[in-house]
Amino acid sequence: MAPVWQPAFNLTDVRLEQDEPLYQGFFRLHRLTLSHPRFEGGRVRIQRELLDRGDAVCVLLYDPIRDAVVLVEQFRAGALTKTDAPWLLELVAGIVEPGESPEDVARRESIEESGIELGELIPITGYLPSPGGCDEWIELFCALVDAPESGGVFGLDEEGEDIKVHVIPAIEAFALVQQRVVNNAAAIIALQWLQLNHDRLKGSGVGHET
């Protein structure tokens, strides 16, 4: 079936006139000068500052036998002025390094952040979290796992990570989204996807290590 929407233009319609580096650190900041067609004809010329922060992978760990999810709690500087407590419940996640596949990242980060080996990886979607000023692309997965009865503290000292693992019944995790306790995009999307697919996955045992 053909998609119900197709974009009016494509990449060949964009003219990149200048790419000016502004900052080079863990992330990179550029100022782009470009032009593109207008919907009603002609072209518009614009400047945009673009944060180049690399691509990332986020993975929701779900135990279909225990019917529980594994979420990680850690401090986030970006939440300092937005929440009363800038420690967020999130998915296992990491930045894609050169030569890595998204699946490689998911499995590596799960060991580093939760100590859990992943079983089957189920693709959920890929998305741009803030395309108005950032080129980050996130690949989102659900991984079927054999979760522990309780969590622990993980993370790499050399990266300043202090990560607390929580094993939460799925139905309670769904409620945390509704209550706005889970308040970051990747976790919200993944948990809502799991809620839609809950009956199909629950109790399946698919992906458990034997």
159 part of the active site: yes
**Residues 203, 110 contacting (CB under 8 angstroms):** no
Strands lying side by side in the sheet with 15-24: 15-24, 28-37, 43-52
Single out the catalytic residue among 40, 149, 158, 159.
159
Residue at token pair 């980050």: 136
Closest CA to 56 of 100, 117, 9, 120: 100
Residue with tokens 């399946």: 204
In 10 A of CB 117, how many CB atoms? 12
Let me know: does 167 contact 152? Beta carbons within 8 Å.
Answer: no
Phi-psi region of 180 (alpha: psi -120 to 50; beta: other; left: phi over 0): left
154: left (phi over 0), alpha (psi -120 to 50) or beta: beta
**Mind telling me the catalytic residues?**
159
